[in-house]
Amino acid sequence: MSRTVTSLLPRSSQLPVARLALAGAVALVLHSGLAVAADNNIDEVIVTAQKRAERLQDVPISITAFSADAVEQRGLTNIESLDALAPNLSVARTPGNSTAAQISIRGGVQTNPALFWDPTVGMYLDGVYLGKTQGSVFDVVDLERVEVLRGPQGTLYGRNTLAGAVNFVTRKPTGEWGGAATAGFGNYGAQTYKLSLELPKMGIASVSLGLASSKRDGWVKNTLPGAFHPALNDKDTQAARLSANFAFSDDFEADYRFDWTKADQASQHSQLSRTLLPFLTSFVAAGRQEAAAINANTFEKLDMQGHSLTFTWEVNDTTQLKSITSYRQMDWDDSLDLDGSPLLVAETARLSTYESKSEELQLVGSSGAINYVAGLYWFEDDGYTRNPQNFFFGTFNFDSNYGFGTRAYSAYGQMDFKATEQLTVTAGLRYTNERKSIDRNLGVNFAAGTPFIPLFPVGGTQAEDTFSAATPLLSVAYQFSDNLNGYVKYSEGFKSGGFNGEYGVVGFSPAVVADNVAETQTPFKPEKVKSIEVGLKGTFLDGALTVNAAAFQNKTKDLQLAIFTAQGAAASVVRNAGKATSKGFELETSWRISDKVRWQTGVGLLDMSYDEFMDGGVNVANNRAVIHAPKYTFSTAVDAELLRDWWGALRLVADYSYKGAHYLYPYQLSGPGQPGYNAGAAVAGDTRVKPVGLLNARLVISDIKAGEATGEIALWGSNLTDRKHAANYIDFGPGFGSLTPVYYIDPRMGGIEFKLRW
């Protein structure tokens, strides 16, 4: 069931040239038949979570892996589509955006997508680290496998993986002619086209190509005459991928990967759910609205590309040396009408450029009872954001800018020692050193066209600092029988420190300017976590049933939290609030009930609390909300072949996911009239996200023979019960009239899809 919107009633509006070419190519291929055969056998899942290929059941890590078949049938195209499908994994769009995400694993999260702040969950594409959450929601073309690693991955993955890591692995070229074409149509005028080609091997080169296009009308109509966009919450993306393998010899090869994504669409509607500002109260609406009247030119634009080159040398039968070189570049712009009305009360934009480069050397091998991984890693990034903001009818206009950079290197090693046939001891250590820089400038005027008054010294403010950490791992795994193994693991994670690129209050005295400079030049400290995990992995019923369970406890120090101030240039500042403890349990099962039916479930339980939360020198841990940490996550999926005959097979794939209630801001828990309530501060309960369960399904006629090809026709639906779920808010707080826009998930979507595979 695709979580990508496609459409039953295609619009007649003109498509871009690239989309027309792709649609024509897909239509030509589909003319000869229809595609894709279902395979009801459950293949053994192989993962590379520990930098080597291993059976999922053998890896002493709490990990969820989605195979190529699951990726295709469940519509797992990007990070957003994984929301709640793995225990204690929560993914939400950042307010107003479709291409940036708040990703939480076991309560570890980055809430503010500003580029100066680093993520808590590391994302990797074919072994390359994706450095920021802006631009993190993009469809991966020709995706073969997804791995969700829970818990600190500080030894093998390094910085910014203290909550976990998500690996996206694309398909390698086969060197044999083949391909697949897809055309889909759905409600809201959606159209999707995909084309994958495998080219015959040419000398030492094997090459595959992938193209994708997705377009959908917005489901929130803009009724304001002369509006910039007739509808909000639309989709208009294009993507391409090139994969090439060069087999220089039996022992030495190179793999080149190129990916490109472009999005040009309106922003998500900032529906006004609450305010005390009298001139806005008439625009407050309860429940999901599908009409709006906004005056601003709201948009979201992404132009991103990535290159990676991997050399692999099989030194001998037991030793492999690998080099992974990457370069990624992104332009990401958005503009938001945060008051959700035709009045100019709160309009902001972020116009960003970002690039990163990395190099990693890996040595993977074995010797007798020892398996080992060692490596050197270098990473560099630079970015710049211009953040203009306009408030209260143009009487407060900010020109906010920040640039930033990172220079990081690390060395790591991990060794498995098989002490006995049953007992394996693993030890690892990584050392990371990085230098962060910031370049900050801010000005304000009180009428459009008037000179900006600087709130920082002329020329801006710069700062640099160095952060380092050593992150160890120690685990003991025991094979109780051929079908049951367990492990105990201690690991640490490290999230880099940095500088607040958005801080700035309004004032015209030297003291205010000095405060802005001091706050910008004072770094927040790295966040560190120490984790203990106990797990069991079992295979039963002659391999038809797998049961994996894990219990964990994390102790976090110098917890980084984004505090939304709504002062001056409204933004978030990162503070080291204190200490937290999270503990929980995770259970996953996969049961092949018969050769035609497979059933999977995942359950996550999470209990997170602050041990210390310092606010103004006072520990208020008992009166602050833990954020993005739902107590319960649950998912279940069934994949069943309902009927098979001469014309093919009828297959149903359905999944249901549930995510519990959770808070979005670390605000006070006390409300009016309760002990500890501060009338001048925001209340966490005002933006508490309610629990939600979502049902998706896909009904497929597969194995349709069309000459040498096979075909597939699928009906799909997402959010089938049309849950009107408010997934995110921005709470400006009492200082800004409690302005609170709300953001809803997409309504029920559905469509039909045709595939041809040859």
pLDDT 10s digits, 255-266: 999 999 999 999
Tokens 């009724």 belong to 223
Report the distance separating Cα 337 and Cα 332, nearest Å.
17
pLDDT digits (tens, 9 = 90+) for 155-166: 999 999 999 999
Q: What Å distances lie between residue 55 and 58, 446, 562, 713, 753, CA to CA? A: 5, 63, 39, 33, 33
Residue 40 has pLDDT above 50, yes or no: no
pLDDT digits (tens, 9 = 90+) for 297-313: 999 999 999 999 999 99
**What was the pLDDT predicted at 18?**
40
Q: What Å distances lie between residue 438 and 402, 406, 497, CA to CA? A: 7, 9, 12
Q: What are phi and psi of 353, to 5 degrees?
A: -125, 145
**Of 1-10, 173-182, 456-465, the least confident:** 1-10
Q: How many CA atoms lie within 13 A of 5 on its CB side?
A: 23
Tokens, residue 659: 């995510």
Q: Do residues 649 and 75 lie in contact, with contact meaning Cβ atoms separated by under 8 Å?
A: no
Tokens, residue 727: 């997934």
Look at residues 233, 220, 390 and name the one whose alpha carbon lies nearest to residue 293: 220
**What was the pLDDT predicted at 570?**
72
Confidence at 550, pLDDT banded by 50, 70, 90: very high
Look at residues 488, 493, 468, 470 and name the one whose alpha carbon lies nearest to residue 478: 488
Q: Which residues contact 573 (CB under 8 A, 6 or more apart)?
A: 500, 502, 503, 519, 562, 563, 565
**What was the pLDDT predicted at 697?**
97
**What was the pLDDT predicted at 242?**
98
Q: What are phi and psi of 4, to 5 degrees?
A: -95, 135
Average pLDDT over residues 546-561: 97
Average pLDDT over residues 579-594: 97
How far from the centroid of its chain's Cα atoms is residue 529's Cα? 21
Report the distance separating Cα 265 and Cα 247, nearest Å.
41
Residue 130 has pLDDT above 90, yes or no: yes
Q: Is the pTM of this model over 0.85?
A: yes
β-bridge partners, 400: 387, 442
Q: Which amino acid is at 109?
A: V
**What was the pLDDT predicted at 11?**
35
Tokens, residue 585: 């349990």
Report the distance separating Cα 85 and Cα 655, nearest Å.
9
Tokens, residue 389: 């903001």
Tokens, residue 543: 């391999």
Report the distance separating Cα 583 and Cα 585, nearest Å.
7
Instruction: Name the more confident of 18 and 50.
Output: 50
Report the distance separating Cα 23 and Cα 703, nearest Å.
23
The domain locations on the chain are: 17-757
Residue 66 has pLDDT above 70, yes or no: yes
Instruction: Count the Cβ atoms, other than its own, within 10 Å of residue 85.
Output: 22
Look at residues 19, 117, 106, 4 and name the one whose alpha carbon lies nearest to residue 404: 117
**What was the pLDDT predicted at 37?**
33
**What was the pLDDT predicted at 32?**
36
Q: What Å distances lie between residue 664 and 296, 392, 562, 583, 631, CA to CA? A: 26, 26, 11, 19, 14
Confidence at 43, pLDDT banded by 50, 70, 90: low
Q: How many CA atoms lie within 13 A of 551 on its CB side?
A: 2
Q: What are phi and psi of 674, to 5 degrees?
A: -100, 155
**Of 64-78, 137-151, 278-292, 677-691, the least confident:** 64-78
Report the distance separating Cα 291 and Cα 224, nearest Å.
10
What 3-state DSSP class applies to 22?
Answer: helix
Q: Which residues contact 69 (CB under 8 A, 6 or more apart)?
A: 39, 43
**What was the pLDDT predicted at 287?**
96
Q: Which residues contact 579 (CB under 8 A, 6 or more apart)?
A: 555, 556, 557, 558, 559, 610, 611, 612
What 3-state DSSP class applies to 688?
Answer: coil
Q: Which amino acid is at 394?
A: G
**What was the pLDDT predicted at 565?**
74
**% of the chain with per-residue pLDDT over 90:** 86
Q: Do residues 688 and 663 lie in contact, with contact meaning Cβ atoms separated by under 8 Å?
A: yes
Q: Which residues contact 213 (CB under 8 A, 6 or more apart)?
A: 18, 19, 22, 23, 191, 192, 193, 194, 237, 238, 239
For the chain, give the mean pLDDT.
92
pLDDT digits (tens, 9 = 90+) for 490-513: 999 999 999 999 999 998 889 999
**Which of the following CATH numbers is that of domain 17-757: 3.20.20.70, 2.40.170.20, 3.40.50.620, 3.50.50.60?**
2.40.170.20
**% of the chain with per-residue pLDDT over 70:** 94
Report the distance separating Cα 38 and Cα 366, nearest Å.
38
Q: Which residues contact 12 (CB under 8 A, 6 or more apart)?
A: none
Tokens, residue 376: 């050197």
Residue 72 has pLDDT above 50, yes or no: yes
